[in-house]
Amino acid sequence: MTALLKLQSVTKKFETHSVLNKLNLTVEPGMVIGLLGKNGAGKSTLMRIALGLDNPSEGNATCFGESSRNLSISSRSKIGYVPQQPFGYEGFSVAEALKLHASFYSNWDFDLESLWLNRFELNRAQRVDKLSVGQRQCLALIMAMAYRPELLVLDEPVASLDPLTRREFMSDLFELALESQSGILFSSHITTDLERVASHIALIKSGQIILFEEADSLKDKIRKVVKGTTPLDLSRYTVLNDSKNASLIYGYEGETISGAKQIIPLSLEQIFIEVHQNAIA
């Protein structure tokens, strides 16, 4: 099966600062990958490089088997992207913007457009530059999804949506991936959304994907191990973070760990916090 998106050993440096560091990631059809990371972790840069909007300093990025920097029109027609700051149709009404945008795609689904316009309660006559941040985000989502792209890349798509719209959107997103076998890569800080929708979770830290796991098994495989008086042997696990009193391990399969005072299961939000706790020197 051809990967929809593939990043191989991608490094991105801004002057001396390295944002991505030999990062690898593959998106395959049907995958809904939730990208989780702190602000400035490189999520947006990763997405831009993946889509050829920015050049990697090292490594390769491919979409549908083509280099991201030189995507053919046919490949571009299969990609939907919503950036953090949607922009581009100022001066148009919602209806005019959608009409023009639809003209660039041969497979635009007008029924889906109407359905989502109603769901997001967007007024067709309203001017794009007068929309609120949330409404602008909704319009960008319609524009990115109404032609049923095979690869959808969403940079914090629900950050400005109210909880109800967010929940509905997330469920639609999941259905879309299931129905059309699209691959979806999206970033969000809202861990409950990731837990609800994502088939896979990718955790990015210091420019690398330190964790890539199916969402269902992620919580089973990660434990916080509180240290006792005897030394711990954690050699069979991947230690995601280590502090004086506890270690965060990946690869746990239900066994007892000798020397552990306590083995604590964690929610996704707790995992995120624990991963980013300052490690001991």
Partner 1 sequence: MPSLKSSLRGFWGHWITEKGCSMYMSFGLLSFALLCILLPMSETRLSLPLSIFVTLGCGSGFAWQIIKLRADETLALIPGKKKLVLNQGIALLTVTYSLFLIFAVALQRMDALFAAALGGVLSTWLILKVIKNTRYFKHVTSIYFLAAIGSIYYDKFDGNVTWLLLLAWLVMSLYSLTKLNNIAWSNTAIHCYKNGLNTGWSPLPTAFTLPKWAEFDKQLFPLSFFAGKTLYTFLGTVTLSSLAIPIIVYFLETPNLAIFIVLTISPIGIMFIRWSMLQNSRSIETLWVLPIFNNRQELHRAFVNRLLFVVTLATIIFWLSCLVAVAIQPNSPDAFTISQANLVAIAMFAGLISIFAISMYLSTDIKFTFAMMLLMNVYFIIIPMMISSKVPAYLLLFLNLCWAGLAILLSFKTIKRIDTVMQKRK
Among residues 9, 65, 67, 91, which is the contact residue for partner 1, using CB under 8 A? 91
* Contact between 103 and partner 1 per CB under 8 A: yes
| 53 lies in the site for partner 1, by CB under 8 A | yes
CB of 154 to partner 1, least distance (A): 12
Pairing of strands 58-63, 5-14: antiparallel
E strand or H helix at 247: strand 246-250
Whichever of 102 and 226 has its CB closer to partner 1, that residue is 102
Out of 79, 145, 197, 209, the only residue in the binding site for partner 1 (CB under 8 A) is 79
Pair 116, 44: CB distance under 8 Å: no
Residue 108 binds partner 1, judged by CB under 8 A? no
Q: Is the Cβ of residue 96 or residue 195 nearer to partner 1 in the bound state? A: 96
| Residue 159, Cβ density class (10 Å: 0-12 exposed, 13-18 middle, ≥19 buried) | middle
Of the listed pieces 81-89, 182-190, 204-212, 244-252, which binds partner 1 according to CB under 8 A?
Answer: 81-89
Nearer to partner 1, 39 or 278 (CB): 39
Q: Does 148 bind partner 1 (CB under 8 A)?
A: no
Nearer to partner 1 by C-beta: 4 or 248? 4
C-alpha 43/C-alpha 32 separation (Å) is 15
Residue 265 near residue 223 (C-beta atoms within 8 A): yes
CB neighbourhood size of 109 (10 A): 15
Q: Which is nearer to partner 1, 62 or 247 (CB)?
A: 62
Q: Which of 83, 47, 80 is nearest to 149 (CA)?
A: 80
Is residue 73 part of the contact set for partner 1 (CB under 8 A)?
A: yes
CB of 96 to partner 1, least distance (A): 5
Question: Using alpha carbons only, what angle is made at residue 271 by residues 24 and 83, rounded to the nearest 5 degrees?
Answer: 50
Which single residue is written with the structure tokens 């395959």? 28
Contacts with partner 1, residue ranges (CB under 8 A):
48, 51-53, 71, 73, 76-77, 79, 81-83, 85-92, 96-97, 99-101, 103-105, 129, 144
